[in-house]
Structure 1
Amino acid sequence: MSYTSDLKRFITSQYIYAAVRVTLAVVVPSIILAYFGLLKEFFLFPLATTFIGLTDQPGPVIRRRNAMLLAVFCFIITATIASLAKEIPLLIFLELLVFGFFYSMIGVYGQRLSSVGSITLIVLAIFIDGHLTGNNTLKSLITFLAGSLWFVLVFLILTRLQPYKLASQQIGENYILLGEYLKIRAQLYLPNPNYESISHEIISHQIKIKNLQEDTRETVFRTREIVRESTTTSRLLMLMFLNSIDLHEKLMTSESDYKALHQDARNQDVLSAMNVFLLNLATEITNIGIDLQSGTKAKPLANLDSELEKLYTVYYNYRNTKMGSENLENFMILRQILMRITDLNSEIKKIYTIFSQDVKLAKSLSSGLDVRKFLSTEEKLNFKVFRNNLSLDSKQFRHAIRVTSALIIGYGITRFSFFPVGHAYWVLITIVAIIRPNYSITKHRNYVRLFGTISGAIIAYLLLWQISNNTILLFFLLASMILAFTFLKSKYFWSVLFITLYVFLAFNFLKPGNINVIFRDRIFDTFVGGFVVFLVSYFILPVWEHTQNIDLMKVATQDNINYFKVVMQNFEVEKSEQNVQDYKMKRKAALVSLANLSDNFQRMLSDPKNQQKKLEKVHQFVTTAHLFTAYCASLSQYFNGKNFKKYPEIDAKNWTAIITAELQKSLAILNNVKQDFPTEDLKIPENELEFLLNKRKAELDENEPTDRRDPTKISHLAELKNMTELLELMSDVAREQRKALKDFQNFVEV
């Protein structure tokens, strides 16, 4: 992708859009207050605006609004109590105990309320310190309330003016990630690919795609205007998102025996041509995503059919001169890859067609799905859920205890007069910002927070040392603020760096000439907060990732069984009898559980060595689970096209029994249950494939190869060969997965 596309992708993303919204909501009243000389006196107004803006998580408008109103309520109640007790240390410790635990525990209701709780704890830290709030408590609280409500008002106005903006940006980002995913897979067609490195990249990117798809589902499927499909825009957005999920499945179908193909050097010209075409497709997918983000109509960047014709020309030139009985099977693999690439090309053309629909045609578009069934269940806002999590078995309960402990210890340290802590609230804010339910994420954020703070402080110091022009400094302040909010969810190091820069510049406007004190205090207070978090996260009720493995492996195995069975049903039913919704729901479940398992495994790599239990075995399980899901996706493509075929030569019933039995064995091991399976009755089914292959090889030996060039046709033999290979690979992978689990028998996680 060119630098121009990179820049356009960045400036049209949901992250910078949200960052600009928060920044303008903060800056406009700040400039007005500064003009009248009131900014120092009413500094809490823009500060409250910032905090409410930080609680805004992507999702349906009504839920975002309700969360912000809840945040306003929590802010004011907490700030009031903190202001009244700020001179009484004993009450402050009690506040930290009660509020620290409660606002951490409300994370059981989801990420949105978790965000509200975390920011409220930051508000608590500021008001118990009193450094920024002044002596007039009532005035401070009213100012803080006004600043909070100001952002809510800005949010309501902008969402009314642009009701579909977030949805289109999230869907666009889905396509951009899919484009990147295809670029990674395209590396498999280059000479001497690093299979292990590429596999790791693929798994990591699958996690990103899954997380974004879940966020987008929440936004699209819970937004009434979109679900009702009442307007052209809502219909198009719904279909564009559903097509992105189908496209994701098609991108997963490129699993082939690449090692065998690369062993024959004669295949390299075709493989290189495939790499080039896949990169072109990846660019087109990214182009669709960028145009969705920006709200413009997407148009193809190149003539895809013409480029595909060039690819087929390379293939047919090779086939018609080099194909023989000794390399027939390699050509069958290449032909299957070409068919998948052709399907991808058709899918992208279809997406472009949907994207460019006019109003009349768009009215006839419909998903035909009950999208509500694809949403994950949410914890209801009732006390029963909260009460049920008051146990050491609850990950959130353990997290709440760690947060509370860290806040009390952190504040306790600031009470020692001989300890040179400049701002107690900076220590507490650092603790809240870093600590997370997972040790691995906490550890990463701890390092990043410290290095980001040091880097940002040095840059800010140099800027303030060299620049005295307030206009230039204001420009840097605005830019750093926008970039800090932009990178907050994606690149935490850069976010911390720009937050530090923003804080330094803001304090310089409020208290000029205080740079040396701020520099020293900011770094030291960050170090103190980070050290407290390290001790607490390691020693107080830590949740190690290996304790989650067994449950996640069970879910992934069961979902793969369900996905495999629904794919295999296609061998027995007519196309009219296919339950598309049931298939898509089982596909979604398999992809989500697989990504959850992979995400947990990657976090496990950051845990201490002594907590990386059975690392190699889990890694092997994750790899085989990914392969199995990809093979299922590949097999499903034979029944998703317009020309629905039957394959009586394949003993689908027996294959289903064989592969399901292997997966059931894995599930039994994970459940620590001894279960007998009739493996002696489950033999590899015989079919006509060997006979047909030998017959075709004999024809090649007896006759000169003919110059046939029909990209739309693929021999029935090639389809049978590939389908049989997929079933054999799934059987092998399921068996390998079961063997990898043998050490888990009678193994109890501690």
Structure 2
Amino acid sequence: MGSTHFTKSVLTVIAVITPLAIGITTGYSEIGVAICFGAFWCNPSDVHGSLKHKVYGILFSAALVMVVSFIGGYLHYSPWLSVIILGVVSFAISMISAYGFRASLISFSGLLALVISFAHTPDQLKIYEFSLLVGLGGMWYLALSLLWYKINPKGQTEEVLYETIGNTGKLLKKRGKLIGKKANRKKLKKSLFLLQSELTEQHNTLREILILSRKNSGISVYNGKRVLVLAQLIEMLENAGANPVNYLKMDEQFQGYPEFAKLFQHIISEMAEQLQMIAVIGNKPTKIPNHNKLKTLFNDLDSKIQELGDIKDAQAYEAFIMFHNFLEYQEKQFDKIKRIKWLLSDHDVASEEFIDKEILKHFLISQDYSPRILLRNLSFRSTIFRHSLRMAITLMIGFVLGNLFSFQNAYWILLTIILIMRPNYGLTKARSKDRTVGTIIGGLIATVIVFLVQDVYAYAILALISFVIALSMLQKNYKASAIYVTLSIVFIYGILQPDVMTVIQYRILDTLLGAVLSYLGFLFLWPSWSFQEIRKDVVKSVEANRTYLSEIANFYIHKGNVPTSYRLARKNAFLETSNLSSAFQRMTQEPHSKQKNLNEIYQLVELNHNFLSSLASWSIYIQHHTTTEASERLNNIITKIDENLESVLKMLSIDAADKQVINLDEVISFEKQLPKFQSEEVNLSADDSHKYKRNHQEEQLIWEQLRWLYSLSVNMMKLTSSL
């Protein structure tokens, strides 16, 4: 109830009902309806992000719906000319989506305005007057949105921040389940890929909200603290994927010492629960959990690992080194959690601790609004172009069928199409199903209520409640939202006309036809299948990992402070790997006949994740420890790994896909020559001082990671050569 989705839905209802009520009571109902439409159509572009982007989004929506309602006002004079105008205008509006997520919502506002133009023709107002009032409605919604922002400026930030903290807790919990040999590891990894993608998106949203707020208003203690919390959460995402070695190697050690697997799982689970507890309590510093339980768990585990290190046995010593390294990763997570708790409490933060906003600006993902973007997408190679053409033709078919068979409300067919049809198959299919099921369930519930209740005032109250719930659930649960949308429409018609059962019948028929047209439209009108696009996502992910590898190697060689380019490379590596996971997830939702090379693509996705995880392990270690000088042999291995990645990129390029030949004998020969940490060769009777063990920890971790990175890069080469 306290979410921004709910408050936004209440705000929308106020923006819609107020001008409508004033218009009806003063005898200017058409003016009220026009302002009401303008406010409602601008609602979709009001999404999470900076205030500046929110204002620009609503302003562009207001301008677009004003122009579209002007064009739509003339669509009633010639039905067949209307079909052509509908197709051209809907195509043009859909192409706006080429400019990113917020632009796609502005595009949706324009499509809504276009479709509703078929349902409403002003009688007393001239078309240009109606259009101007629609634009005024957009300004009215913007004014309300800004007023709410002034009343509750922290609401959006708090919601996204605590959702991110909660999801970070979920990520840790899932990571903990990977420890030890698990039969469902493949399933766990798939869910981790999705959760990591969601977290990466939330990090980007928080960056935009917090960094642009600081940019516009200078240093704020509140924002400064939240930026520092975000920095901890980003590093926790990196730490979460870090392991001192690959999972197979860890499995061997945990199999020999199973009690340590349970101890590590217990610690990770407790850290996850504390994060989720913080997410639930929200901004209540006094209820933040203390560190006592985690301190005890860490002390107990550390003691047991030290006992293992005292055993004069090669296998035990190797396990000691590995467990000690893994413990240090968990201690880094604990440090981040302690820092988050401290920042969310009432403690003061010195101004010098705040991150320089000039540095922060580099981490924002800026959207290019150049006309070149639109021109570049005017091609059948563009997913947006094909989607726009598909949308236009499907709307034209829906319009013709609605008029040929005299549907009671033909525009409902068009509304269903723009609500369901999306650029990818999986989402279009899911929305078709959810919309249909939701409408049928909503229709059945409405039928029962209409039989039992015969009171227009009750209908008005139920319509209002249903509408608020429908809007608040739109992003979270589309099927439930469709149920409440149907209820609100039926109750509104119940007030306006006595034959409600006919309305329910046509509502279901129109939705079914719109859903079928959307689904068939995607299948037969220039469909965009993921196997045609995923190669680009793999390339971007490999390139980002390669850049991150280069930055880590440079830092390891030259030491000193962590440069901004290093952190940017890390951000891009996680972002592109997350995008690759999302692309693969879309591929799994498509028909089996279109899932070409699915197993190989999954292996590539997993290899990229493992490569990033290994980079993160190395990165964290060298950031928090004083390391030895980089040897010439280490530089040679890094060069070889980089060359392997370069070969992968060459093979993924269309022109060279069939020209690259791998010399496997040479690759295997080099891999055999790679140094390996041998616990049997360690002189266990020597002075086992802290420095002595620390050198072995570095040796074990660095060389194991380099061997693992080389092996992963070779496997990528083999896979891409076979695709």
Q: Is TM (by shorter chain) over 0.5?
A: yes
For residues 244 and 506 of structure 1, do their structure 2 counterparts lie closer, same or farther at Cα, with a shift above 3 Å needed? farther
For residues 211 and 306 of structure 1, do their structure 2 counterparts lie closer, same or farther at Cα, with a shift above 3 Å needed? closer
Deviations 1:79-123 (A, max 9, x none): 233223314202311320221111011112222222122222222
1:463 matches 2:421:
no
CA contact (8 A) 1:192 1:262 kept: no
CA distance in 1, matches of 2:715, 2:676: 27
Matched residue, 1:534:
519
Deviations 1:34-91 (A, max 9, x none): 7789889945544432221122232222222222222222222222332233142023
Q: 1:615 aligns with which of 578, 598, 614?
A: 598
CA contact (8 A) 2:34 2:134 kept: yes
For residues 375 and 361 of structure 1, do their structure 2 counterparts lie closer, same or farther at Cα, with a shift above 3 Å needed? closer
For residues 50 and 514 of structure 1, do their structure 2 counterparts lie closer, same or farther at Cα, with a shift above 3 Å needed? farther
Q: 1:666 aligns with which of 641, 648, 663?
A: 648
- 1:253 match: secondary structure: coil
CA distance in 2, matches of 1:596, 1:562: 17
Q: 2:373 aligns with which of 385, 388, 392?
A: 385
For residues 30 and 468 of structure 1, do their structure 2 counterparts lie closer, same or farther at Cα, with a shift above 3 Å needed? farther
* TM-fit CA distance, 1:396: 1.7
Matched residue, 2:467:
481
CA contact (8 A) 1:651 1:687 kept: no
| Aligned positions, number | 713
Which 5+ residue runs of structure 2 have no aligned equivalent?
Answer: none
CA contact (8 A) 1:170 1:212 kept: yes
CA distance in 2, matches of 1:265, 1:290: 36
* TM-fit CA distance, 1:422: 2.4
Matched residue, 1:93:
83
> Aligned-pair RMSD on alpha carbons?
3.3
Q: 1:400 aligns with which of 385, 388, 391?
A: 388
CA distance in 1, matches of 2:360, 2:135: 38
CA distance in 2, matches of 1:190, 1:298: 37
* TM-fit CA distance, 1:420: 5.8
For residues 472 and 575 of structure 1, do their structure 2 counterparts lie closer, same or farther at Cα, with a shift above 3 Å needed? farther
CA distance in 2, matches of 1:62, 1:339: 42
Matched residue, 1:23:
13
For residues 652 and 356 of structure 1, do their structure 2 counterparts lie closer, same or farther at Cα, with a shift above 3 Å needed? farther
CA contact (8 A) 1:79 1:123 kept: yes
Matched residue, 2:581:
598
Matched residue, 1:6:
none
For residues 413 and 686 of structure 1, do their structure 2 counterparts lie closer, same or farther at Cα, with a shift above 3 Å needed? closer
CA distance in 1, matches of 2:469, 2:267: 35
Structure 2 matches for 1:563-602, cutoff 5 A?
A: 563-576=548-561, 578-579=562-563, 581-602=564-585
CA contact (8 A) 1:86 1:130 kept: no
* TM-fit CA distance, 1:475: 5.3
- 1:129 match: secondary structure: coil
CA distance in 1, matches of 2:290, 2:25: 52
CA distance in 2, matches of 1:321, 1:572: 32
For residues 480 and 723 of structure 1, do their structure 2 counterparts lie closer, same or farther at Cα, with a shift above 3 Å needed? farther
CA distance in 1, matches of 2:131, 2:148: 26
Matched residue, 1:410:
398
For residues 460 and 361 of structure 1, do their structure 2 counterparts lie closer, same or farther at Cα, with a shift above 3 Å needed? farther
For residues 111 and 261 of structure 1, do their structure 2 counterparts lie closer, same or farther at Cα, with a shift above 3 Å needed? closer
Structure 2 matches for 1:621-660, cutoff 5 A?
A: 621-641=604-624, 643-646=625-628, 651-660=633-642
- 2:118 match: secondary structure: helix
* TM-fit CA distance, 1:135: 6.5
Deviations 1:245-293 (A, max 9, x none): 12211122147555565565563333223223222212322344456xx
CA contact (8 A) 1:122 1:428 kept: no
- 2:529 match: secondary structure: coil
For residues 470 and 338 of structure 1, do their structure 2 counterparts lie closer, same or farther at Cα, with a shift above 3 Å needed? farther
- 1:729 match: secondary structure: helix
Matched residue, 2:717:
738
For residues 472 and 568 of structure 1, do their structure 2 counterparts lie closer, same or farther at Cα, with a shift above 3 Å needed? farther
CA distance in 1, matches of 2:710, 2:93: 48
CA contact (8 A) 1:235 1:363 kept: no
Q: 1:332 aligns with which of 315, 318, 321?
A: 321
CA distance in 1, matches of 2:24, 2:270: 52
* TM-fit CA distance, 1:301: 1.4
Deviations 1:374-408 (A, max 9, x none): 233422254x4333332222222211111110111
Structure 2 matches for 1:36-47, cutoff 5 A?
A: 42-43=32-33, 45-47=35-37
1:281 matches 2:271:
yes
* TM-fit CA distance, 1:297: 4.0
Letter aligned with residue 380 of structure 2: L
For residues 251 and 28 of structure 1, do their structure 2 counterparts lie closer, same or farther at Cα, with a shift above 3 Å needed? farther
CA contact (8 A) 2:41 2:65 kept: no
For residues 255 and 722 of structure 1, do their structure 2 counterparts lie closer, same or farther at Cα, with a shift above 3 Å needed? closer
For residues 722 and 473 of structure 1, do their structure 2 counterparts lie closer, same or farther at Cα, with a shift above 3 Å needed? farther
Matched residue, 1:270:
260
- 2:558 match: secondary structure: coil
TM-score, normalised relative to structure 2:
0.89
* TM-fit CA distance, 1:22: 2.2
Letter aligned with residue 155 of structure 1: S
CA contact (8 A) 1:231 1:363 kept: no
For residues 166 and 650 of structure 1, do their structure 2 counterparts lie closer, same or farther at Cα, with a shift above 3 Å needed? farther
CA contact (8 A) 2:394 2:521 kept: yes
For residues 20 and 363 of structure 1, do their structure 2 counterparts lie closer, same or farther at Cα, with a shift above 3 Å needed? farther
For residues 313 and 35 of structure 1, do their structure 2 counterparts lie closer, same or farther at Cα, with a shift above 3 Å needed? farther
Matched residue, 1:309:
296
CA contact (8 A) 1:83 1:137 kept: no
1:516 matches 2:498:
no
Letter aligned with residue 45 of structure 2: T
CA distance in 2, matches of 1:670, 1:379: 26
* TM-fit CA distance, 1:505: 2.7
Greater Cα offset, 272-281 or 139-148? 139-148
Greater Cα offset, 310-319 or 94-103? 310-319
1:208 matches 2:201:
no
Matched residue, 1:5:
none
1:113 matches 2:92:
no
Matched residue, 1:80:
70
* TM-fit CA distance, 1:147: 3.5
TM-score, normalised relative to structure 1:
0.86
Letter aligned with residue 541 of structure 1: W
CA distance in 1, matches of 2:701, 2:377: 49
CA distance in 1, matches of 2:472, 2:559: 50
Q: 1:425 aligns with which of 408, 411, 414?
A: 411
CA distance in 2, matches of 1:321, 1:735: 35
CA contact (8 A) 1:187 1:193 kept: no
Which 5+ residue runs of structure 1 have no aligned equivalent?
Answer: 1-10, 701-705, 745-750
